[in-house]
Amino acid sequence: MKGIGFLWCPHLYSAGIPLKLVEAMAHGLPAVVSALTAEQLGLKDGEEVLVGRNPAELAEKIVRLHSDGELWAHLSQRCVEFVQANFDKQNMMGSLTAALASFKRQKRGFFDFLSKNDRFSVRAS
């Protein structure tokens, strides 16, 4: 990612974790993102990323990030810290282990959960 100044991520629709953004942040590459993307990952405007809520605001944030070296450095550091805290392999394994233990305690299987959740239409055969 050498030579790239920042990532622009103006997603209007969501379909899973925006891994390109997470990867860029892990390398210290600041980003300008849509409100949807910020909300999806729990990112705060001016802390880990810059958030634009409409095309004009996205453009203003891009210009600001491109021209403000202190802001770029701040976001670069904070986005790396965010990824380390939220996407670290050990943290992810801990979260997955806790979720699976919760299913086990409830004596419900994964497919029982899916079949009772309106968002899924998976049936175990």
Number of structural domains in the chain: 2
21-25, 49-53, 102-106: least confident range: 102-106
SS (H, E, C) 21-80: HHHHHHCCCCEEEEHHHHHHHCCCECCCEEEECCHHHHHHHHHHHHHCHHHHHHHHHHHH
Report how far apart, in Å, the C-alpha atoms of 86 and of each of 25, 95, 115 are: 12, 10, 29
Q: Residue 30: CB partners within 8 Å, gap ≥ 6?
A: 6, 7, 49, 50, 65, 71, 72, 75, 76, 79
In a domain, 125, yes or no: no
Give the CATH number, domain containing residue 79.
Answer: 3.40.50.2000
Same domain, 68 and 42: yes
Higher model confidence: residue 96 or residue 2? 96
Average pLDDT over residues 101-116: 64
pTM over 0.75? The answer is no
Which helix H or strand E contains 9, and what residues bound it?
Answer: strand 7-9
Same domain, 78 and 96: no
